[in-house]
Chain A
């Protein structure tokens, strides 16, 4: 069936990702990251990757696993504070890093998904982020022109999805996943629960299946918590 986008597992989903590819990876911190696909990329051993993701994981989880194996050539992110190995590779010059404001990161993904070549934003005006960028003035205010991302693959994690690729996210694990799903030339979605068409209410789909090329039910989600904060009963 032409609309069945199901692949068997993460290894199958990422099998044509080659060294040197540009990847978008959903998630905020370790929340809502595509754990299964990251592990599969580590197993496949592709390298020279450019990764677009809000964060770079921690030393031994998330994108940190790819960094440990030196599989990442360039990281495009907004905040990388939780990863000592990242900092070491950056300061030693082994890793290229482009830090960009978080809202600009989200909007450059969104622009790609919406078919817009660029957007104009205020974030970074007057700072080193503005260096070398075209600007334009609207109503007396200067804006930076920021280009849509150009990514070979987008890899996202959803809560539920159906075989046609419709996706629903849970709580703040949504974060960057929807706009990255829309932005990939090829989008791979791993889900906690894969269901048949008709089982998800069309009124509550966060990402329509048109954006998703491959989907599979993930396994063994660890869902590690970075900052466990609680109050007493």
Chain B
């Protein structure tokens, strides 16, 4: 069985280390916050100017002045801090954010990522994605392994306009966990019930299977 979105988020949460400052993108990455492991303390950064993002407010407590980068109403926590957009991207650019998790439309086997534009169709803009992928020390992509047409999103070369080059370190999809290496995508884990053959069939980019590849614990 391929993983659902919650399970992808749950697997990525295991990458969080105690003391990390983490930026979570919109979509599956946001769900990672629900699975922070016991005993691990992390600070969530929201690029519109907040460190220490708390949970959604209780009904009736929503404050229009307090939102996250997805424009959702949120809360602060003891220890939170608020700053302007220049400082927010200053800390991202300065390499202070330990981990960035974001979604993607395509990832290439050299670590290139495309997630902001479909020419002629989607013109929403890149938001903070280009700044984040250019600067973050560690970038994990959370996405489905294939697009709705069933085509691989793990490619030899991105076909869509790029968001960043040589930047993705790890990818967690509904089928498994992959590391970006010189040899291409290196499969470290497969989802329970998913076969290596299925992963091979659905990965268009260069793929190597780790010698110690194992079933993902979810």
Interface residues, chain A, CB within 8 Å of chain B?
A: 28-32, 54, 77-82, 87, 90-91, 97, 99, 101-107, 109-110, 121-129, 159, 169-179, 206, 223-233
Contacts and interface: CB of A to CB of B under 8 A. Distances in A.
Given A78-B126, A101-B126, A123-B134, A230 B66 contact: no
B70 A123 contact: no
A188 B192 CA distance: 59
Interface stretch (B50-58, B139-147, B148-156): B50-58
B183 to A, nearest CB: 21
13 contacts: A101-B128, A102-B128, A103-B89, A103-B128, A121-B131, A126-B165, A126-B166, A172-B68, A225-B67, A228-B73, A230-B60, A231-B55, A232-B58
Q: Mostly helix, strand, loop or mixed at chain B's interface?
A: loop
Contacts of A227: 67, 70-73
Contacts of B58: 230-233
A101 B131 contact: yes
A150 B42 CA distance: 39
Contacts of A90: 123
Nearest to A81: B124
Given A171-B65, A228-B62, A29 B123 contact: no
A159 B82 CA distance: 14
Given A31-B67, A126-B162, A175-B48, A230 B123 contact: no
A30 B71 CA distance: 8
Contacts of B164: 125-127
Interface of B: 46-50, 55-74, 76, 82-86, 88-90, 92-93, 112, 123-131, 134-135, 161-166
Contact of A28 (B63, B73, B85, B129): B85
A225 B73 CA distance: 8
A39 to B, nearest CB: 17
Contact of B63 (A91, A171, A178): A171
Contacts of B135: 122-123
Contacts of B72: 227, 229
Contacts of B76: 171
A50 to B, nearest CB: 17
Contact of A29 (B55, B71, B90, B112): B71
Among A78, A177, A226, residue most surrounded by chain B Cβ atoms (within 10 Å)? A78
A79 B126 contact: yes
| CB-based closest 10 A-B pairs | A103-B89, A103-B131, A81-B124, A126-B165, A223-B64, A122-B134, A101-B130, A106-B85, A79-B127, A102-B128
A75 to B, nearest CB: 10
B65 A170 contact: yes
Contact of B73 (A32, A78, A176, A230): A230
Contacts of A103: 47, 85, 88-89, 92-93, 128, 130-131
B86 A109 contact: yes
A229 B59 CA distance: 8
Nearest to A207: B84
Contacts of A107: 86, 89-90
A127 B74 contact: no
A80 B59 contact: no
A233 B61 CA distance: 11
Contacts of A233: 58-59
Nearest to A102: B128
